[in-house]
Amino acid sequence: MLVAFTFAAKKGKEAEFEALLSNPEGGRAVARGLGATRNTLFLKGGRMVRVFEFPDGAKPPSINDLAGRDSAVRAFLAELGPLVEGGFDVDQPGSLEAFNQRVMLSLAYDVRP
């Protein structure tokens, strides 16, 4: 199963946004915590596209659940929220879930040769 998100940095925050997201160790930690087998990040001009791959039949936890279990993920999200257009506040109930619903892409197809 593939899950993709895309969102952009607020104007003037592009460099800080890209620096925060460009940490592969952080990406690995999030992927492990979610149970993803792959976490791929694309960055350009203050916009990111992130694709997670999960084993077939997997039901990943919500990012809120992961943030509740992992203080490093929570700290990362707290730093990220104010940097993104239409951001979120991890301390405001429902804010992160609403943001995720806005930025998640629908899968059109997954072609395998």
Domains of the chain plus CATH, in order, are 2-105 (3.30.70.100)
pLDDT digits (tens, 9 = 90+) for 56-69: 888 888 888 888 89
**Residues pairing with 51 in the sheet:** 4, 40
Report pLDDT for 78. Answer: 93
Beta strands 2-8 and 38-44 are unpaired
pLDDT of residue 95 exceeding 90: yes
For residue 83, count other CB atoms closer than 10 A to its CB. 21
Q: What pTM does this model have?
A: 0.87
Residue 2: φ, ψ to 5°: -110, 140
Give me the chain's average pLDDT, please. 92
pLDDT in tens, 23-48: 888 888 888 889 999 999 999 999 99
- What is the rounded CA–CA span in Å between residue 17 and residue 86? 14
Residue 10 has pLDDT above 90, yes or no: yes
DSSP string, 26-85: HHHHHHHHHT-SEEEEEEETTEEEEEEE--TT--PPPHHHHHHH-HHHHHHHHHHGGGBT
Per-residue pLDDT at 29:
85
Structure tokens at 53: 């791959």
Banded model confidence at residue 108, pLDDT cuts 50, 70, 90:
very high
